[in-house]
Amino acid sequence: MTDISGTNKGSSLADSLACEHGFVSTASILHADLDAFYASVEQRDDPALRGRPVIVGGGVVLAASYEAKAKGIYTTMNGRDARRVCPEAAVVQPRMEAYSKASKAVYEIFNDTAPVVEGISIDEAFLDVAGMEHIGGTPPEIAARLRSRVLAEAGLPISVGVARTKFLAKVASGASKPDGLLVVEPDREAEFLHPLPIEALWGVGKVTTAKLNGMGIRTVGDVARTSRVRLAGVIGESAAAHLLDLANGRDPRPVSPRERRKSIGAQSAFPRGSRDRSEVDSLAAALVDRTARRLRAAERACRTVSIGLRFGDFSRASRARTLAFPTDQTETILAAVRELFDASREEIAEKDLTLIGISLGNLEAADTVQMELPLSENDRLVENSALDQAVDDVRARFGEGVIKRASMIDADQGVPVPTLPD
């Protein structure tokens, strides 16, 4: 672990930013990120796996222990390739209920540690500990105690970054892995950030990296020293402004607790490979069944339907459609999802699809669902609602897999990836 800290003996960039813009001028934001989460849970629960390379997932690598990562295994890697690279690895099937339970236990510690917690995923969160010195100690002390509690009470290693901004805290936690604590004091931000490669900046992928490298820009410091006009000429005005802000320590976003989820979603991962239209449709139908059931269980209806795609080259794509009326009906949602996938056929055909996700947003109370004209259509909607309820009841009583669509029988539905609770 490297602790970047120090005493400010003069004016710093953070001080000037605080004066000019009212930004937080102390390192009081924590980014806590569980290490190799799925694999760590498996190693915690099975002592025989500790110290060994562990791969979670068969067809596709969902997670790899640090012992496996040291052998060249990475997330989304084809399972067959992973076993060839590291034949001594223990391959375990994912246990989503165990991961969700572990996540809940860790979040209880998060919420007991800080008054403001912003969950990002099931294994990471931002915590704002500003003003807690008299009751909890300094931010580094709070972070150290948080790590000790997560290990002692949840049995899991966790890395924590402490900094003035959310961006810097997240970069710091990544730099501290595995199982570390890194503090970036405001007067040491440039020293920490500027030597890092440009890929450390949020939003910089392969395409932007290639463009910036073509300009001779390879580090965050190079970005910070480049004029906005020159950057905008290559990557556009918006991207240039965004990268310059991050490279110069500007990130005014506060840690914001999530009240009620504004969307309900599900996603599945699977090995790289081309998939025909019927395969994609089966995957989509399985996800819609899951999300629509959760929507009804929450007594909510959605107005917006979105899909998310991830490809073998780690690029992503998303599409969304707003419905005329809020709905909680499986078939209505599925029809919208199919339209969105139809619009993405060309991209899906060109790249290896490794993950698809469905998100239902713009949520309203279920009693806002309206019946549409003509009356014959209303009758169909009533029948669909009754069918949805009957299927929900059967699955609740006998299990999720007791009823399947014909298209989903013997179909590869991927591996479900858990998300934050609704």
Would you please indicate which residues are annotated as catalytic (active-site) residues? 124
Within its chain, how far is the Cα of 2 from the centroid?
Answer: 26
Q: Are 193 and 220 in contact (CB under 8 A)?
A: yes
Helix axes 228-235, 206-214, angle to 10 degrees: 130
Instruction: Give φ, ψ of 138 to 5 degrees.
Output: -75, 160
Task: Return the C-alpha torsion angle 106, 108, 109, 114, nearest 10.
Answer: 130
Find out whether 344 and 351 touch, Cβ atoms under 8 Å.
no
- SS3 of residue 8 by DSSP: coil
Q: Which amino acid is at 1?
A: M
CA–CA separation, 61 vs 56, rounded Å? 6
Contact 91, 79 (CB under 8 A): yes
Q: Sheet of 90-92: strands edge to edge?
A: 63-64, 54-56, 90-92
Q: Which residues pair with 321 in a beta bridge?
A: 305
What whole-number distance in Å separates Cα of residue 417 and Cα of residue 269? 7
Cβ neighbours of residue 326 closer than 8 Å, sequence gap 6 or more: 301, 302, 303, 362, 364, 368, 369, 370
In sequence order, the 6+-apart residues with CB closer than 8 A to the CB of 300 are 264, 328, 363, 364, 365, 366
**Residue 31 and residue 39: Cα distance in Å, rounded?**
20
Query: What does each C-alpha distance from 69 to 34, 76, 86, 245 come to in angstroms?
Result: 15, 12, 10, 32
Gap between the Cα atoms of 130 and 139, Å rounded = 8
Which strands form 181-183's sheet, in the order they lie side by side? 116-121, 124-128, 29-34, 158-163, 181-183
